[in-house]
Structure 1
């Protein structure tokens, strides 16, 4: 009897020892497999020894859909070179149909939609507070390869270069980034061994403009695309601001500002159509430097406007916000200029009413600043970014730029409504 008990106990020990890290995380009492895109079952144990990414996402949230499209390309590129890599989808979809529809666009594995407990357990274990979230796990939890939690940012910033997504590799990439920033010039940002020019419009088509002619100017890199709805709203505003800045500089006999389009268009016809509406310069469609620039400036969405100073160094990656706030007055976008404009806003705010009744909104709006409940926001009238002073509804969070307020008499408004 004792011999049998000893044998059974040893079997249990052996079973525990043979249960790998991913089997403990991703399997359940009733399930030892994951779903594959073909509908077949893949043993969780097949993941042992691999770098595994856990993708927390859902079909109902647009940023998840956008990130998934980016991740598919990265995944397929990595899988073609590294077999020891896999991603597992951890769904927050609303129902099975939504899960099936969203997962149908993914080339990796997934926890079955019905396994709610495993999904909850993973969410708690990794403190997932928002989606999309991408957690990278290493085959062995060595000190230099601990769990990496900011996978979404890493994919957007480095793409396949971040593989195998361990802290050691990320530290190396950050050191390389620091060196690039310290040695950054306009020429090494925008040129490569095949191209030392950007494009410009002429009556006869596009012509090449030497990059050397831009050295010493303030340059705005405009990351945009024809298919992007926010870009369609921002581009006309940027064109207006660009033309006003160029006119003011021309009156002073100066030519110190230029914009360069960095396109994310999906085909050349779209690029040609979109760029034809713009008065500035552009990188050629499909240029290899586009991806490098997106990673270098950590571009996570478009439209995105980066300002490069006359010395070739980055002034700000928040050019879009400065344009929305200050229009052409933001030029040359330096910290000193922004501080000057903020002081002007402070002075102007003293003459603004503390409370307004805004046309199109049913509650009073309070004037707020960074220090008393304000801060970065999206204006509910023009859908553009704002910061510093705003009119805010304390009941529902509605916020607008002071310049977008259309104040009406509350008493008359209520009489008309009744």
Structure 2
């Protein structure tokens, strides 16, 4: 089943959840003792996380929202924090942001045993256990991100139902439906000269731009996207961008709109959150591209813009293949190795087939994919176009 790796794990000794959590008791966010009787008969999520890691900080409120909704309807679900924090004050501070109990911070042996048993190599991690202690899902964090409380009880059958629902939604997707998935039915978006009917966007390639004002990567990408938007609007009327605000305050939203030459959803929260959930937006900036038929062309518009600029339009697989083929041909004109003024070792040319892949260029700090000049020993990579020899000459032949 997609999204559900096979796991062969059962409780030791047949003792149910208490054979997995072998300490005497748990601790509440306020520091009180929590007895295991409160976990009996429930599905348990072991939440491996740490205060110091931004992804845990971002995921915790998402999990808490799903948790509260499940608790509110009596779903028989409990979460237990297994802290990866390095000191007690950090653990206590982080735990106070959560509504569930935790393995006591001082029980290092139990935390180590749980991490080894479930092969925890990265966080956040949410291992879901049945009441008997069997593993239901080895890491349901992604499911909670995508589906919230609807992912419960996290079984393979439930995941299959949700994925089938997704496929049906995507197959029948239209632009009008996208702007009404919050149940409120938007008919207009905001433009510089007032309201613009959504119906006027039908038949165009539309970029849904998830961003926020006080976000350094967003500000940097917005400037680049605005330049490309201007170029494309000069070439075709069949392209538009709609800002989907992720701003926490209306003042930030208004400042964002003042920096953008395109359309925007209003600042009222619900449509933006619904679209972010629908497209599984985990970070900003994100650029989702919808085609003239209303179907999703790509959720990776940001990377395509960084890689190919305005040439990425209309962002289809066919267009990207053409650009990649052109890159392959152009690469034949570059030397196989060079000395770059930004690195002490010789750099060798690599392709996606010979060791290249996604990277951030050490010269211009923009994304790269496939072709690069690389020092494999140091992890130093640059675009072919950024290749310069020690005297500052171009690496290319053109």
- Residues 399-414 of structure 1: matches in 2 within 5 Å? 399-409=381-391
- Aligned residues of 1:138 and 1:166 also touching (Cα < 8 A): no
| 324-333 vs 104-113, greater mean Cα deviation | 104-113
Q: 1:22 aligns with which of 14, 17, 26?
A: 17
The structure having more radius of gyration, on CA atoms, is 1
Runs of 4+ in structure 1 over 4 Å off: none
Q: Does 258-267 or 290-299 show the bigger shift?
A: 290-299
Q: Partners in 2 of 1:190 and 1:118 — Cα distance?
A: 48
Pick closer, same or farther for the CA change 1:273–1:104 going to 2, 3 Å: same
> Which residue matches 2:233?
246
- State yes or no: 1:123 paired with 2:81: no
Deviates more, 1:302-311 or 1:220-229: 220-229
How do 1:235-274 and structure 2 match up within 5 A? 235-249=222-236, 255-274=237-256
Q: Deviations over 1:141-160 (max 9, x none)?
A: 79xxx611232211211112
- Partner Cα separation in structure 1 for residue 365 and residue 18 of structure 2: 46
Query: What does residue 139 of structure 1 align with?
Result: 131
Q: How far off is 1:83 after superposition? A: 6.2
Residues 261-300 of structure 1: pairs in structure 2 closer than 5 A: 261-300=243-282
> Where do 5+ consecutive residues of structure 2 fail to align?
1-11, 393-398
Q: 1: distance between equivalents of 2:388 and 2:147?
A: 44
Q: Which residue of 2 aligns with 1:217?
A: 204
For the residue of structure 2 that corresponds to 1:181, the secondary structure is helix
Higher share of residues assigned helix: 1
Which of 310, 314, 319 aligns to 2:301? It is: 319
Q: Secondary structure at the match of 1:380?
A: coil
Is 1:234–1:303's contact at 8 Å kept on the other side of the alignment?
Answer: yes
SS at 1:399 equivalent: strand
Aligned to 2:9: none
Q: Out of 74, 81, 106, which is 2:73 matched to? A: 81
Deviation at 1:322, TM superposition (A): 0.7
CA change 1:66–1:362 in 2 (3 A) is farther
Q: What CA deviation, in whole Å up to 9, does each residue of 1:261-298 have, x standing for no partner?
A: 11111121211111221011112223423233222222
Q: Is this contact kept in 2: 1:20–1:45, CA < 8 A?
A: no
Do structure 1's residue 64 and structure 2's residue 56 form an aligned pair? yes
**Could you state the TM-score of these two structures normalised by the residue count of structure 2?**
0.88
**Do the aligned partners of 2:16 and 2:133 also contact (CA within 8 Å) in 1?**
no
Q: Distance in 2 between matches of 1:363 and 1:69?
A: 45
Q: Out of 189, 192, 215, which is 1:228 matched to?
A: 215
